[in-house]
Amino acid sequence: MDARSRVVATPLRRLIFTLVLFGLTCRLAEESGRCATYRTRNFVVQAESAAAARKIAEHAETCRSAIAIAWLEKELPPWKTPCPVRVKLTQGDAGGATSFGFGAKGVNDQEMTLEGRLDRILASALPHEITHTIFAEHLGKPMPRWADEGASLLSEDLLELKRHDKIVQDLLTRRGDYTLSKLFQVEEYPRDLMGFYGQGYSVSRFLVEIGGRPRFLAFIRDGMNKNWDESTRVHYGFSGVKELDRGWRAWHDVVVADPNHSKLQTSPLVVRFSPRRGDRIDDSQSDQDRSADEESTRVAARSDD
């Protein structure tokens, strides 16, 4: 029997309504010739303009290659069926959703929806969603929610990483966090979604910093298939999840106390969009966005060993 898993990326604001409305809007737009489609080897992007569809489709391929190499140390083979991507351009923050159908041999089908300002989609939402597809393909089944969302955030730009640093600090200050023993067992999104994302991001970042991306995925696979205490001992040398919890909290205290730690240690995976000559992304990009964008570095392929 096939299973269907829905993966939702931040923010959730108006997302379900957008999915329904955009489907109707784009069908009407296609009939009038106002909705464009651009196809690459692994993606079919549907957007309100041909330029936006092309930029997103080409950047999706760049992200797919770089993110797979960073996490798996190799590129993925081409998908048999391109992933459909529906894009709704707005003047707001970027968000998205990706859903998968899983069968006995892994992913059967997948589809993605993106919403927001084009520059933020390219810098943040699209790399996040592509990371979900890499994890789904690699594991062949749904990844634990905290790890799927938390590790996918590591593909976003520094603007989003800094925002989630603040979210997790607030979470710990108000003691709204889970123990890791409980976090690792959460199967559905909790009510405090942003706090959950923040903690998942912080724990994922901690594990990647101390062991690298490929080891993180091996830890997740063994934790899902065996048990988390054993996986913690094998991959990170802690006696179990309780000791890992103490290690994460001690690490977080260092991150908060040292403002330079993020710059020196985080090594976020940022796949920068490289516009063609004459391309214009979005004249409304804020000074804050530009500053964070300038601070980021392009990663074509990296290993965290």
| pLDDT tens for each residue of 136-172 | 999 999 999 999 999 999 999 988 998 999 999 999 9
Torsion of CA 209, 213, 219, 222, to 10 degrees: 180
Alpha helices in the chain (DSSP H): 15-32, 50-72, 118-120, 126-139, 145-153, 158-173, 180-183, 193-211, 213-225, 228-236, 241-257, 261-265, 287-295
Is the pLDDT confidence value at 266 over 80?
A: no
Any idea where the domains of the chain sit in the sequence?
3-142, 148-265
Q: What is the pLDDT of residues 2-26, one digit of tens each?
A: 455 555 444 443 444 344 444 545 5
CA 299 to centroid of chain Cα atoms = 16
When pLDDT is averaged across residues 112-129 and rounded to a whole number, the result is 97
Of residues 291 and 84, which shows the higher confidence score? 84
Q: Is the pTM of this model over 0.85?
A: no
Band (285; pLDDT cuts 50, 70, 90): very low
Token pair belonging to 58 = 């080409």
Which tops the pLDDT comparison, 132 or 187? 132
